[in-house]
Chains A and B, each alone.
Chain A
């Protein structure tokens, strides 16, 4: 059995009277690709937000590499090597692709002194190589804000990889990406997992993508964990089919 890198145990999160996550327990194995699916409003992004410290949880525990992180701040969690990307892309729009990448180099401490250095040649090489990896080499000198939504998604993914995370939470990585490019993106996600050893935890609405990508999938519905299993098991689970298609 694989080592568990992220342990979510009995996590609940509510906003006023709206329960977004209720008593959710999920284990994410290290070095694997794990999927998280569910209809709109089922609480997937809220759960990601709870894991990376965007908001406090009401109850339960979240452990990353055995360390309790549920009360840590966003930056502290990121410095542990646990990052997320967003449904709506978050890039630095007024800078070009290369600068977006250089900014994303990892910082694992509070010491400011290394910040007073110019980027090294190695940093440029790594930035260029990752931009090439996601297919953005020809766009690297354009302002990030002028890229298409799909290209911004790819840039955001490359920025995350530049940060050398051990685990990456991807929120709908293929949303807004041209269907002809999706196969390429699946390959890149798999390569990031295999070549860079990044554990991926992926929210995805495109069933073809997630079934192709993930080794294990968890399904949320109405804020609760509905089902967990391999892609085959999930595809054949009547509760999942009902949650997606409605109980008629």
Chain B
């Protein structure tokens, strides 16, 4: 697509997303989930699609982000975290926040979650990114599983019983806030990635994907590029996790915080469906995934996972390069045909 066409398409999509809450006021939960899915698909693709590091472990940052924002709301609401979590289930009425307490706790929490996870990502990445291929994938899978188990053993965050978020005070349009905060980072992250993938940093990420040994033998700073990319991804996952937890209003260690059988798989599926290694692929993949997921959960309840599985099989078999990959291949074929026609 030509640049002006791409820009117009981008603008149309952006305007649609801006007005979507007014068009679909009864679907705010699904819309905010969509923003979260776009974020995690883009952030996963940064590692898996652009850099060739297929990670299952990003749910670590997703879950930590969630716990940080919940804890921040409690603490900045003037309560002690241990008292709050130990009282859960029986005495929530004592922990009522004012709108300003809630919003300050939420805002500070989401900022802290993102920043802390960025540095945590740097730290972890410098160690785990020395592994490659299957070893890296399996290790990151283990991180996700282990994280849930560790969370289950920490009483101050509710241990195995999980942790409720403080109830949003009346008058706080939670899902609108979550949706627009998600959209804000989607827009910023999209602009950032569009720029990053055209810089040398992005080129080196692609070089690592195509032949890391070659990149290293050319003196490229592969280790620091990998760690930095992983940390950026961790930042976004923590932000998305904070939104997701707030939307669900309850953190279960393995079902919500570190859900490697749902979010941990979906983040990869969305990127594959849309087209790995492309800027639009994860966005399109997330939109398609969310639409079909909601349709299946609504109309095929009981068989929804089977239907989702079938959809994935169909896409992988008929569009192995994803939707964007199929589109790009079609464009190439059309250009070749046009060139051939022009010659004859």
List of B residues within 8 angstroms of A94 by Cβ = 206, 209-210, 277
Q: What band does the interface of chain A fall in when counting residues whose beta carbon is under 8 Å from B?
A: 20 to 34
A117 within 8 A of B: yes
CB < 8 Å: which of A78, A114, A163 contacts B200? Answer: A114
Cβ A90 vs Cβ B214 within 8 A: yes
Shortest Cβ distance from residue B328 to the other chain A in the assembled complex, whole angstroms: 12
Q: Interface stretch among A25-33, A102-110, A196-204?
A: A102-110
Cβ A107 vs Cβ B220 within 8 A: yes
Shortest Cβ distance from residue A108 to the other chain B in the assembled complex, whole angstroms: 7
Shortest Cβ distance from residue A201 to the other chain B in the assembled complex, whole angstroms: 15
List of B residues within 8 angstroms of A119 by Cβ = 200, 203
Question: Counting chain B CB atoms within 10 Å of each CB, which of A78, A92, A102, A115 scores highest?
Answer: A115
Cβ B200 vs Cβ A52 within 8 A: no
Cβ B207 vs Cβ A83 within 8 A: no
Say yes or no: A90-B217 contact (C-beta < 8 A), given A99-B203, A118-B198, A118-B199.
Answer: yes
Cβ A75 vs Cβ B225 within 8 A: no
Say yes or no: A52-B206 contact (C-beta < 8 A), given A90-B211, A112-B228, A115-B201.
Answer: no
A91 within 8 A of B: yes
Say yes or no: A107-B221 contact (C-beta < 8 A), given A94-B209, A116-B200.
Answer: yes
B178 within 8 A of A: no
B224 within 8 A of A: yes
Question: Counting chain A CB atoms within 10 Å of each CB, which of B196, B214, B217, B222 scores highest?
Answer: B217
- In the docked arrangement, what's the CA distance between A52 and B199, Å? 28
Question: Counting chain B CB atoms within 10 Å of each CB, which of A90, A105, A108 scores highest?
Answer: A90
Which residue of chain B has its CB nearest to the CB of A89? B214
Cβ A91 vs Cβ B211 within 8 A: yes
- In the docked arrangement, what's the CA distance between A117 and B203, Å? 11
Which residue of chain B has its CB nearest to the CB of A94? B210
A159 within 8 A of B: yes
Cβ B216 vs Cβ A103 within 8 A: no
- In the docked arrangement, what's the CA distance between A92 and B210, Å? 5
Shortest Cβ distance from residue A52 to the other chain B in the assembled complex, whole angstroms: 7
- In the docked arrangement, what's the CA distance between A115 and B220, Å? 10
Cβ B217 vs Cβ A103 within 8 A: no
- In the docked arrangement, what's the CA distance between A159 and B210, Å? 15
List of B residues within 8 angstroms of A114 by Cβ = 200
List of B residues within 8 angstroms of A103 by Cβ = 200, 203-204, 206-207, 215, 218, 220
Cβ B221 vs Cβ A75 within 8 A: yes
A44 within 8 A of B: no
Cβ B210 vs Cβ A93 within 8 A: yes
B89 within 8 A of A: no
Say yes or no: A74-B216 contact (C-beta < 8 A), given A90-B211, A92-B210, A93-B210.
Answer: yes
A186 within 8 A of B: no
Cβ A112 vs Cβ B224 within 8 A: yes
B213 within 8 A of A: yes
- Cβ proximity bits B151-178 to A, threshold 8 Å, 1 near / 0 not: 0000000000000000000000000000
CB < 8 Å: which of B203, B217, B223 contacts A78? Answer: B217
Cβ B201 vs Cβ A112 within 8 A: yes
List of A residues within 8 angstroms of B214 by Cβ = 86, 90-92
Cβ B210 vs Cβ A84 within 8 A: no
- In the docked arrangement, what's the CA distance between A104 and B217, Å? 10
B90 within 8 A of A: no
Cβ B222 vs Cβ A115 within 8 A: no
- In the docked arrangement, what's the CA distance between A55 and B201, Å? 27
- In the docked arrangement, what's the CA distance between A21 and B140, Å? 39
Shortest Cβ distance from residue B182 to the other chain A in the assembled complex, whole angstroms: 26
Question: Counting chain B CB atoms within 10 Å of each CB, which of A83, A84, A94, A117 scores highest?
Answer: A94
- In the docked arrangement, what's the CA distance between A52 and B218, Å? 10
13 CB contacts below 8 A, A to B, read A74-B213, A75-B219, A75-B221, A78-B218, A83-B219, A92-B207, A103-B203, A103-B220, A107-B219, A110-B224, A112-B201, A115-B225, A118-B198
